[in-house]
Structure 1
Amino acid sequence: MDTLRGRLLVATPAIESGPFMRSVVFVLDHDADGALGVILNRPLDSEVDDVLPDWAGLVNAPVCLFDGGPVAMDSALALGVIADVAPPIGWRQMAGRVGLVDLEGPLPGNGEFAGIRVFAGYAGWGADQLEAELEEGAWLVVEALDADLMSPQPETLWREVLRRQDNDVRFWTTFPDDPSAN
């Protein structure tokens, strides 16, 4: 099996409702036991300062928590894109310059990260579940850019990722939110 770790899952119009509608998921882990990722384009109303005050000055704008997915919404995890320096203490590589940041460890120093984002919850799939959803056409798998993880306008990320593709999926960006209202 080819791993999807470090790639993006982009929801297709086949996902018509729920937490994954028009979502962009960064895949943190993928193997025979299942997959794990975080939704990148669902900012929440909660500020990082409300739950992790020491980290508020370290995260990228928008400085809010993100809905990482429907699993374990009462827990937080952080993704960090390291700067062009040695990996900082408390950072565990997931793909390229992207890794998990230990929120209980020491605060990173200035310039260690190109960006940090904090997520409430995560997206998870059991063994063969994601593969079945891919076969059904629910997801498009595309390459991730570091900038996707730290987009200052996460609400537009779904369309941005689709627009940069070199095939007809770019036209999905014109698909109405509610096709019945068309």
Structure 2
Amino acid sequence: MTEQKDVRAGRLLVATPELRDPNFVDTVVLLIEVNDDGALGVVLNRPSPVPVAEVLHPWATSVAVPDVLFQGGPVSKDAAIAVALLVDSDDPPLGFRPVVGRLGLLDLDTPVELVDGTLSRLRIFAGYAGWGAAQLQGEVDEGSWYVVDSEPYDSFLDDVSSMWSAVLRRQPGELAFHATRPPDPELN
């Protein structure tokens, strides 16, 4: 098991009940880049009502169900970020940048025909979540985020409505109990 405050690419941020920012309440964020300048991730459990076919038609048949754009975060909402899972990590297509294992980012300027058969899953996010240098670690230290390991298919669940509690339930020890915690335990 990895240290709970070890913030690095490929791990998940799970919003704690103390996190009240409406952009992140009950969210699960996949960290896709972490370095000395800051961190970048995408919110995995906020589907939009906009079908991928309306915005990025060539990718419409390649995305995982539900085939909509996901709201990746409050920054640059007009930018698209594609998270992909390779069929075979030894055969990445042109335009693929690994994050961890078979999971990575796909350049959407890559012709669709060049990636056919190489991707197991694909999801497209409008916008992203970003943190400046040391900002995310400060939020983790103050108790706004649980930092947990991801599993390859976390980024591509068909039904994301229960993702927050599902990710917490599979954690070891006391952290799993938070999955059933009421929003305000004092009212219980």
Q: How many residues align?
A: 181
Q: Residue deviations 1:60-115, cap 9 Å, x none?
A: 00100001000000111101000025001111111111111111111144321110
Does 2:154 correspond to 1:148? yes
Give the SS at the match of 1:170.
helix
Deviation at 1:17, TM superposition (A): 4.1
Alignment match, 1:45: 49
Alignment match, 1:168: 174
Alignment match, 2:109: 104
Could you say what the CA RMSD is over the residues aligned between the two structures, in angstroms?
Answer: 1.6
C-alpha contact 1:89 1:106 (8 A) present in aligned 2 = no
Residue in structure 2 matching 1:131, options 130, 137, 142: 137
TM-score, normalised on structure 1? Answer: 0.93
Alignment match, 1:60: 64
Deviation at 1:3, TM superposition (A): 5.2
TM-score, normalised on structure 2? Answer: 0.90
Residue in structure 2 matching 1:34, options 33, 38, 43: 38
Q: Residue deviations 1:107-137, cap 9 Å, x none?
A: 1443211100000000000011001101101
**147-156 or 55-64, larger mean C-alpha shift:** 147-156
- Partners in 2 of 1:50 and 1:180 — Cα distance? 45
Does 2:95 correspond to 1:90? yes
Give the letter for the 2:93 counterpart: P
Question: Residue 3 and residue 15 in structure 1: after superposition, are their counterparts in 2 closer, same or farther (change >3 A)?
Answer: closer
Question: Residue 152 and residue 74 in structure 1: after superposition, are their counterparts in 2 closer, same or farther (change >3 A)?
Answer: same
C-alpha contact 2:13 2:30 (8 A) present in aligned 1 = yes
Does 2:12 correspond to 1:8? yes
Alignment match, 2:79: 75
Deviation at 1:16, TM superposition (A): 2.7
Deviation at 1:22, TM superposition (A): 1.0
Give the SS at the match of 2:161.
helix
Which 4+ residue blocks in structure 1 deviate beyond 4 angstroms? 177-182
